Amino acid sequence: MSILLIISVFCVLYRTADVLSLLLGTPYDAKQTFLCDLLDGQLDVDKMDYLLRDSHYCGVKYGNYDLERMLDVICICPTEYDEWQLGIDSNGVHAAEEFIFARYWMFLQVYFHKTRRIYDYYLSHFLKTIYSPYPTDLDEYLKITDIIILDKIRNSHITNEWAKHLYERNHMQEVYISLPHHEKDDDLLVVARLIETFENDYREQIASHKCYIDQADTSSVKSLIEFKSEIDSESGSDENAPKRKLPAIPVKDKHTNDIYPIQHYSLPIRNMSDLKINLFRIYAYNNLVPDMKKYICEKEVEVAENIANEKLEKAKTQNEIEERERKIRELALVNEQQRKNLDENDRIKKEVLDKYRK
């Protein structure tokens, strides 16, 4: 239903030929920016559709937002580069906030859910065992339906380790999860060091699939969720043209028609701007969970302390370097002054000698 409503709104602006023209890379024109935003932007039609659909079929409310209101407040925002950009009327800022938060919640609660992520791991390995190589022919690829995969899982769960996990719903447990985003570089550094230490100490268990490190990033999901404050403008068909910055979600002021970034109107979105969700998890089977949890707790403290000490040592070293540089500068000034004094003495001696000779 949602996709039909979306199509009914935008079909008056674009035809199928316009979309195909964009995909085929035909010459750029001003209204293509708006079409690009519709197909792949912060407020694109795909997100408008899948949030509501996925929320409904998963039986959760996280992805719900007011679609009718969103479609009502969407407008064309002309840019200073004479392009059309997809934006919203200033009356619709709260509707856009609801949409963005729905996306944020769906990623955290559904797409990056701990159980879904571990079964993605099992399923990807299972598919590699039954399709090697993976079909490259489109017709063959389209034959791989959910029913086919489920049937293969059922028929091979006795002999295939990955199918067995899926069929019996026997999965590893989460023993560690990082914060979904890291405001400070040090926070991310602690996580990265912890994961690196874990990989070294549990190399055997990882190789034998007794534990698993998961990172929800662009290599494992459709796209890493990111709330951008700016995007690069399409500068026409010239690849050498300089990149130009546009607000990711422009807002047209209802009184003046001036264009502002949505951060100008929304404090929550301003605080989320350029925020990435980057989740690390460690999974293990039940017999390893107690020891691993203890190990991770101890190592996390140890790693954080080591990083803090490294920072102090680095600051100390930097201070020592700056102190040495200061002393060198002072010594250089003293030497310069001494040289000037010697030059002055030589000048005075010369004057005295000249007078004496006369």
Per-residue H/E/C for 171-238: CCEEEEECCCCCCCHHHHHHHHHHHHHHHHHCHHHHHCCCEEEEEECCCCCCCCCEECCEEEECCCCC
Per-residue confidence at 148, pLDDT binned at 50, 70, 90?
very high
**Residue 62 near residue 110 (C-beta atoms within 8 A):** yes
Q: How far apart are CA 87 and CA 13, in angstroms?
A: 15
H helical segments located in the chain:
2-10, 16-23, 32-39, 45-58, 67-73, 93-106, 114-130, 138-142, 146-156, 161-168, 185-201, 203-207, 267-272, 289-357
pLDDT at position 214: 94
Q: Which of 113, 279, 293 is nearest to 198 (CA)?
A: 293
What does the pLDDT average to over 303-315?
Answer: 88
Lowest mean pLDDT among 1-5, 102-106, 134-138, 271-275: 1-5
pLDDT surpassing 70 at residue 68:
yes
pLDDT at position 23: 67
In this structure, the dihedral spanned by the alpha carbons of residues 347, 352, 353 and 354, taken in order and rounded to 10 degrees, is 90
Per-residue H/E/C for 99-118: HHHHHHHHHHHHHCCHHHHH
Beta strands 244-247 and 230-233 are antiparallel
**CB neighbours of residue 201 within 10 Å:** 12
Query: E strand or H helix at 281, and its extent?
Result: strand 279-284
What does the pLDDT average to over 77-90?
Answer: 86
**Residue 212 near residue 172 (C-beta atoms within 8 A):** yes
Boundaries of every domain in the chain = 1-112+227-276
pLDDT surpassing 90 at residue 150:
yes
**Residue 195 near residue 178 (C-beta atoms within 8 A):** no
Q: Which of 161, 127, 158, 156 is nearest to 144 (CA)?
A: 127
Per-residue confidence at 239, pLDDT binned at 50, 70, 90?
low
The set of long-range contacts for 205-211, using a CB threshold of 8 Å and a minimum separation of 24, is 205/284, 205/288, 209/161, 210/284, 210/285, 210/288, 211/172, 211/175, 211/282, 211/283, 211/284, 211/285, 211/288, 211/292
pLDDT at position 10: 62
pLDDT at position 164: 96
pLDDT at position 204: 95
Per-residue confidence at 4, pLDDT binned at 50, 70, 90?
low
pLDDT at position 210: 95
**CB neighbours of residue 159 within 10 Å:** 8
Q: How far apart are CA 189 and CA 304, in angstroms?
A: 9
Q: What's the mean pLDDT when you consider all of the chain? A: 84
Residues in Cβ contact with 128 at an 8 Å cutoff, skipping those fewer than 6 apart: none
**Residue 167 near residue 155 (C-beta atoms within 8 A):** no
**Residue 48 near residue 8 (C-beta atoms within 8 A):** no
Q: How far apart are CA 136 and CA 8, in angstroms?
A: 35
Per-residue confidence at 335, pLDDT binned at 50, 70, 90?
confident
Q: How far apart are CA 30 and CA 37, in angstroms?
A: 12
pLDDT at position 223: 41
pLDDT at position 31: 65
pLDDT surpassing 80 at residue 357:
no
CATH class of 1-112+227-276: mainly alpha
pLDDT tens, residue by residue, 154-163: 999 999 999 9
**Residue 236 near residue 306 (C-beta atoms within 8 A):** no
User: Between 110 and 322, whose confidence is greater?
Assistant: 110
- Provide φ and ψ at 226, rounded to 5°: -150, 135
pLDDT at position 15: 65
pLDDT surpassing 70 at residue 1:
no
Q: How far apart are CA 358 and CA 354, in angstroms?
A: 6
Beta strands 279-284 and 211-216 are antiparallel
Q: How far apart are CA 323 and CA 64, in angstroms?
A: 59
